[in-house]
């Protein structure tokens, strides 16, 4: 109940009102036609190969497995987001996006702090605070992951200059994308990224939407230049 009071949300109702992935991508202004289309396609192919490698060595991440641990999910997340962040920095945006592991996000009142297992930030320049871009929360239960992710995003929004922030919750195979503009949270219906068939064509058609979602989140949000000006007193 404490989480629902702070978020001003009925979590059960919030989950039941999930929207489509296409809706959030449209709200983020995401398009892949033209500039970056070939890069994004190659990125998707890289991610598929990384997932195939993970499944070959680790097996399908399920609690039914005798050696399953939460770390298995986090390993998979790194396999997935590594090539996305690399290509975003090097080929799409010439950015300075970096990954922080197990990062606490302190709210302005310093009384509460969201916590993210994976937090993507952009370093705006020497002596300039990190610009928070998106957060990924992993748990065997999507319900618990959603609650923790929403709390972290609320604190994250207060720290990034007031623009839209994004989060992802995942059990490893199932994912949801969340957005927050300081007033309203939106969350997608869950979509599946893994497949036991390991079919490339099927994954490129269905599972690769996760790549679109993460790139959309990285491209959207606050203006880091304006944040940098505030941080250096301009």
Phi, psi of 108, rounded to the nearest 5 degrees:
-60, -30
Helices vs. strands in the chain: H and E counts, helices first: 9, 7
> pLDDT per residue over 129-157, tens digit each?
667 788 998 887 788 888 888 988 888 88
Domain total in the chain:
1
Q: How far is CA 131 from the centre of its chain?
A: 15
Tell the burial category of 24 from Cβ atoms under 10 Å away from its Cβ (0-12, 13-18, 19+). buried
- Kindly report the pTM of this predicted structure: 0.86
| Helix residue ranges, H only, the chain | 2-7, 11-16, 21-27, 37-58, 70-87, 142-159, 200-205, 209-219, 224-231
Which domain range does residue 32 map to?
2-231
**pLDDT computed for residue 173 by the predictor:** 87
**pLDDT computed for residue 225 by the predictor:** 40
pLDDT-flagged residues of the chain (< 50): 222-234
**pLDDT computed for residue 233 by the predictor:** 36
| Angstrom distances, CA of residue 48 to CA of 10, 52, 83, 95, 107 | 36, 6, 10, 23, 36
Long-range contacts formed by 182-185: CB under 8 A, 24+ apart: 182/157, 185/7, 185/9, 185/14, 185/150, 185/153
């Amino acid at each position: 109940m404490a989480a629902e009071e702070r978020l001003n949300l009925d979590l059960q109702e919030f989950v039941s009102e999930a929207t489509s992935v296409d809706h959030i991508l449209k709200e983020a202004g995401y398009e892949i036609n033209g500039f970056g289309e070939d890069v994004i396609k190659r990125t998707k192919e890289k991610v598929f190969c990384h997932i195939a490698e993970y499944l070959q060595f680790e097996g399908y991440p399920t609690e039914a497995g005798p050696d399953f641990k939460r770390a298995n999910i986090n390993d998979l997340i790194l396999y997935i987001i590594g090539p996305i962040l690399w290509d975003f920095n090097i080929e799409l945006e010439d950015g300075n996006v970096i990954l922080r592991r197990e990062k606490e996000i302190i709210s302005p009142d310093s009384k509460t702090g969201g916590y993210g297992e994976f937090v993507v930030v952009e370093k705006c320049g020497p002596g300039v605070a990190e610009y928070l871009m998106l957060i990924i929360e992993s748990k065997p239960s999507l319900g618990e992951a959603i609650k923790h992710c929403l709390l972290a995003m609320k604190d994250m929004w207060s720290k990034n200059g007031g623009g839209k922030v994004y989060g992802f919750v995942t059990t490893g195979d199932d994912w949801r994308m969340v957005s927050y503009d300081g007033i309203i949270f939106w969350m997608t219906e869950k979509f599946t990224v893994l497949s036991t068939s390991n079919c490339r064509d099927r994954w490129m058609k269905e599972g690769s939407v996760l790549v679109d979602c993460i790139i959309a989140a990285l491209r959207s949000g606050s203006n880091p230049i304006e944040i940098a000006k505030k941080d250096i007193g301009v």
